[in-house]
A and B are shown apart, each in its own frame.
Chain A
Amino acid sequence: MQSPDDREDVVALSPFSFKKMRSDETVPDHESAVFFLCLGLLLTILAFFFNEPGEIWSGSIVILTSPANLVTDYFALANIGATLMNAGIMTLTSLVLVLITRSKINGAIVAGIFTVAGFSFFGKNLYNSIPIILGVYLYARVVRLPFNRFILQALFGTALGPLVSEISFNLNLPPAAGHLLGLAAGIVAGFVLPPLSAHFLRFHQGFNLYNIGFTAGIVGMFFLAVLRGFGIEITTVNIVSSGNNRAFAVILYALFIAMLLLGLARNRWRLTGYRQLLSQSGKLATDFVTISGPGLTLINMAFLGILATGYVLAVGGDLNGPVIGGVFTVVGFGAFGKHVWNVWPILAGVFLANLFNVLEVNATTALLGALFGTTLAPVAGFYGPVYGIVAGILHMAMVSNISYLHAGMNLYNNGFSGGFIAAALVPLFDLIKQVIMDHRTR
């Protein structure tokens, strides 16, 4: 990190004889920007390896003009090429948004861009994301603060994209009315996300990494309640694909190995400092880019990607759109809280739950519960692996039953569930630890 003494954008001394103070303006990280530029371009170029341009175009139109609630695998809804093109465009758009707002690409932003990229495989697209981002922007204007203060809410808030698509395309409204109402719903949702998401952090004390997911679940629930009040019934769907494991295993492993090599090169071909990274609980807001540096962060992300992809293949699951989205999200949060030591107990807990419940361990729903259940990684990181396994087990039960409240309008359903799990378990785990400590000291 640059010393305050070296920065030219600082202002006068303070009365406590501090060194010079920084101004409010931040400078984008060029290396990180180039990384995401390459990622976005890679996804768009890969599109042409799977489908012809005409198919990509027609598939893109389908993606943009269809309902997008959980679980809508864009591989199945449209085609692989169009999905990859969508993911590439969304990644590049997110990067542009970060750059034009002059936001620093820290760990949270890395997580945000990867999450947008991942969910662009099953639910996010430009049409349903722009109104939400616009809503967040309007909020920033109303409270008279720079938009970059709310860039995270803008990126993650696109979780409610299906709300826009559902109202626009699935309520049998005249097209103009549908578009207008969908746009309005997105703007309203985006507008309320910043104050609500900041407030809801205390509910789970930062132990649920997908805080916007929890917030979006609440907001989605309100919208659904209003729609159901008008007699409109919306249900979740289960549109998933299969048969693409070989191609995407190669692509994903190649990507993660490249990230690993890049990270090692950045870290002088050593893992120095990785043990300290693993000792972090991962509770919000643990920014590994700032704490441990970009090299170790890339290494951590790569390890997580290899672990997540390996889990899917080991249990015999499909690398379809939603699952790839899950892998991308795990990788992204490797910059903002997750690491292999706080993730494995959650995976283990969800796996155990699925051994005994009605779901197959390799069903897409079960895999999403495992991958996105790692939102509770801080529970394992702070309290220990056993507690993390318990959290994983309970999370799988909860997440299977909570999507009715928002009918899949909130793409971060696991974040919604994770909020309740963390809020309930953290006080109980605190009590258990206190009782154990009291008994030991007697």
Chain B
Amino acid sequence: MEKEKSKALKIAAEIIRYFVSHQIVQMSVDFDFRDDGFWIAVSGATREKPQDLDQLAAALQEGRQPELDEYYDDLLGTDSKNQGYHLLGAMVDTSDVQFDGITLTVRVGRSGKMR
């Protein structure tokens, strides 16, 4: 499977794992694969803001680190024991985390050739 699609699945799995670990079990996942990268959006219904949501949002803004993502991406989506935020942040170029009291939405984007 092309490397970037494989990474997309791992990133999505980590975000889904975050949702499930906060008892958000009804969610929708959108993928958008393009030639120059991909975007993933995960939305789930919850009335309670996860306690560590601000930490997640901050971690996702830390900036992509190619030195880490090629090596450690296999740790994503596993039972990472709620420690995957920073690695997730190292693998995405941009992110958007929104909670409006009803729905939590996490969007991430990563640039890179799809091959």
Contact = CB atoms under 8 A, between A and B. Distances in A.
B66 A26 contact: yes
Nearest to B81: A382
DSSP majority for the B interface? mixed
Given A18-B107, A202-B74, A148 B66 contact: yes
A198 B94 contact: no
Given A14-B109, A283-B81, A285-B72, A290 B94 contact: no
Contacts of B68: 106, 108, 152, 285, 287
Nearest to B83: A283
A206 B86 contact: no
B70 interface: yes
Contact of B109 (A1, A18, A153): A18
Contacts of B23: none
Say which size band chain A's interface belongs to. 35 or more
A146 interface: yes
A290 B90 CA distance: 10
Contacts of A177: none
Interface in B33-81: 36-37, 39, 41, 59, 61-75, 78-81
B62 A1 contact: yes
Contact of B63 (A1, A15, A284): A1
A146 B69 CA distance: 13
Interface residues on chain B, size class: 35 or more
B61, B68, B90: most-surrounded residue (chain A CB, <10 A): B68
Interface in A82-106: 103-104, 106
Interface string B77-115: 011110100110010011110000000000101011000
B63 A206 contact: no
A245 interface: no
A205 interface: yes
B109 A291 contact: no
17 contacts: A1-B61, A16-B96, A18-B96, A26-B66, A106-B65, A108-B67, A108-B68, A146-B66, A149-B71, A153-B71, A201-B72, A202-B74, A205-B80, A284-B72, A285-B71, A285-B87, A290-B90
Given A16-B109, A145-B70, A149-B70, 17 more contacts: A1-B62, A16-B32, A18-B109, A21-B109, A22-B63, A26-B66, A26-B67, A108-B68, A146-B66, A152-B67, A198-B73, A198-B74, A201-B75, A202-B74, A202-B78, A283-B80, A290-B63
Interface of B: 32, 36-37, 39, 41, 59, 61-75, 78-81, 83, 86-87, 90, 93-96, 107, 109, 111-112
**4 pairs of A and B residues whose beta carbons are closest in the complex:** A149-B70, A21-B93, A18-B94, A285-B72
